[in-house]
Amino acid sequence: MGVTHFDGRILVLGFGGVAQCTLPLLLRHLDIPPARVTVLDFVDCRKTLAPYLTQGVHFIRERITPENYEQVLQQHVGPGDLLIDLAWNIDCGSLLDFCRRHGVLYVNTSVEVWDPYSGAEFKSPPERTLYARHMELRKLIASWPAENGPTAILDHGANPGLVSHFTKMALRDIAERILAEQPDDPRRADLEDALAQNKFNRLAQQTGVKVIHISERDTQISNKRRSRTEFVNTWSVEGFYEEGIAPAEMGWGTHERKLPKDAWVHQVGPRNQICLERFGMNTFVRSRVPSSEIVGMVIRHGEAFSISEFLTVKGPRGKAIYRPTVHYAYLPCEHAVASLDDLRRRDYVMQEKCRIMRDEIVCGYDELGV
């Protein structure tokens, strides 16, 4: 992979597990002086950042709030600069609108809000979904003037993000396999046309895809014992907790004939998803990764929304005539599974301590695919 020149400044919001992997990649693949890169976090990260601070990277310790985000961001980014949002509980819509108004490029890995738990006890399951957040973003985008603005890429990490490209590649592979092995297949003309024009929704329809699992299994093992009073995970504990106790969400296929008994159907937007009146961490599905079969949790994830909408085929009157069922199936590491079991026994009150496994990992890996 080559090096790309970048003239602007870069502000990285948050320095958790993802950001700690992202920063060295930025410095490796972008032609940019480290002095034009700033990391901002409300936790003192100088010890972890030490190798980069000596190169010239700047660190700011400050908490971003609804009251100060405009003032803080204007100190570090302007027209032509890049904001990489890797934080949690900072409203994506607020940052997106700021970047639009100030000519700042924007990328993030999830659609966050300021306080995901505010008023949760008074909200219906659909109101607590990622689907609802996407609808709010669409309202914001619809309010903007028609002229072009700076580029923004949302929900684009590994999953959601990279798995969408995996899905496209898988559809191409299936179609090409059909054409190679079944030269007289009646779908040949349609498949060749869809391949030539990158019509992935038509590829999914013509190849007969009904269900897409975004499957992930984490087999990483720590050499440290876990206390009953701590939640241990290989990535953000706060992020996993929020996703785990949110309603299960999935893209709902047109071939499905019966809704689950606790399903809710959305009344606005593309209506490509449903949610369940149960936590994602308590919704299980049989799936598989290359190494084995798994029983994963239907944790809400942005790709269940974006992939199912992207692959929808509509008829002449605009009604969906084809859509696959799409959802996440996640089996976390053993310590995280045990932490979830304790969380259930605690009636979903978070443990007193949180720990992210890092150097203590002695074996295992994370398998993610489509």
Residue 25 covered by a domain: yes
Domain enclosing residue 278, as ranges: 209-369
Q: Name 367's bridge partners.
A: 217
- What is the bridge-based pairing of β-strands 273-279 and 247-251? antiparallel
Q: What local confidence, expressed as pLDDT, does residue 164 receive?
A: 98
Residues 362 and 262 grouped into a single domain: yes
117 & 220 share domain = no
State the Cα–Cα distance between residues 80 and 3, nearest whole angstrom: 18
Give the span between the Cα atoms of 202 and 190, in whole angstroms.
Answer: 8
What is the predicted pLDDT for the residue at 277?
Answer: 97
Number of domains making up the chain: 2
Do residue 10 and residue 144 come from a single domain? Answer: yes
Residues 142 and 263 in one domain: no
Q: Which residue, among 349, 344, 365, 360, has the nearest Cα to 225 in the 3D structure?
A: 360
Q: Give the residues of the chain that fall short of pLDDT 70.
A: 1
pLDDT at 362: 97
Residues 360 and 217 both lie in one domain: yes
Say if 255 falls within a structural domain: yes
Q: What is the pLDDT of residue 1?
A: 67
Same domain, 214 and 353: yes
352 shares a domain with 251 = yes
pLDDT for 131 equals 98
Same domain, 135 and 284: no
Final residue belonging to a domain, choices 108, 125, 153? 153
Tokens at 219, concatenated: 């087999």
pLDDT at 303: 98
| Residue 10 bridge partners (DSSP) | 37, 82
Looking at the structure, tell me whether residues 220 and 301 fall in a common domain: yes
Q: Please identify, among 121, 153, 185, the residue that sits at the C-terminal boundary of a domain.
A: 153
pTM attached to this predicted model: 0.94
Residues 217 and 86 in one domain: no
pLDDT at 2: 78
- Cis before 316? omega within 30: no
Question: 289-316, pLDDT tens digit by residue?
Answer: 999 999 999 999 999 999 999 999 999 9
In this structure, what CATH number is given to the domain that contains residue 39? 3.40.50.720
**Two structure tokens written together for 209:** 């895809």
Would 295 be classed as within a structural domain?
A: yes
* Among candidate residues 107, 138, 153, the one where a domain is terminated: 153
Judge whether 203 lies within some domain: no
For residue 272, is it within any domain? yes
**CATH number of the domain that 356 lies in?**
3.30.360.30
247 & 149 share domain: no
> Domain check: are 76 and 145 in the same one?
yes
Distance from C-alpha of 95 to C-alpha of 226, rounded to nearest angstrom? 37
